Amino acid sequence: MGGGDEKKLKHRNRVLNNKMPLWLTQLVACDRSGSPSMEDIEAFCTTYRARLDEAEIAKSIPENTSLEVSSPGVERVVRIPLELERFKDRAMYVKYVGETVTTGSPSESDGVFRLISFDMETECCTWGLADVRINREKAGKGRPLSKKQREWRLNTTFDSLRLVRLHSDC
């Protein structure tokens, strides 16, 4: 990894029991989930391992430090609002707090949605049902989403979102 390649990958590191866990994510998405490729991980590991060897020789980290590398995976957590634009075309599992119609008190709900729009000024999102198996099964096995399901919308504030992660039908 030379030159500008280092800007593509970011990592958090700390040494625990002579193991250095690294979590990599690609800032410029190459694949659908935005994860680094095996080639990216291999190149990063080779370069980082050389730096670790130098640090071991300089005694700035413990000897025999092992390197453990992972990436966020296909169902990665989406950072709100930073990654909304990046993953707007993907189905997302969303856990949010909304008001119960009958009592008006807050309650937690969830579902698999697609992002219709979001507004950074008002800090709000509009979601629709994602065309995924779990939502289609509600219409009946083998049936597509109904017109009512396709037109359904949910409006949330950024603050009401408790968890947003990419959804995979796999």
**Percentage of the chain modeled with pLDDT above 90:** 35
What average pLDDT does the chain have?
Answer: 79
Residue 54's pLDDT is 86
Residue owning tokens 């009958």: 102
- What's the pLDDT band for 128 if we cut at 50, 70, 90? very high
Name which residue leads in pLDDT, 11 or 163: 163
Residue 161's pLDDT is 96
pLDDT reading at 143 higher than 90: no
Residue 145: both structure tokens together = 């989403």
pLDDT in tens, 9-56: 444 455 556 666 666 665 444 555 566 777 877 887 888 888 888 888
**Percentage of the chain modeled with pLDDT above 70:** 75
Rounded mean pLDDT of 60-67? 76
Q: How many CB atoms lie within 10 A of CB 14?
A: 8
Give 67: exposed, middle or buried? Use CB within 10 Å, 0-12, 13-18, 19+.
Answer: middle
**Cα distance between residue 8 and residue 154, in whole Å:** 34
Name which residue leads in pLDDT, 47 or 126: 126
Residue 10's pLDDT is 44
| Cβ-contact 1, 10 below 8 angstroms | no
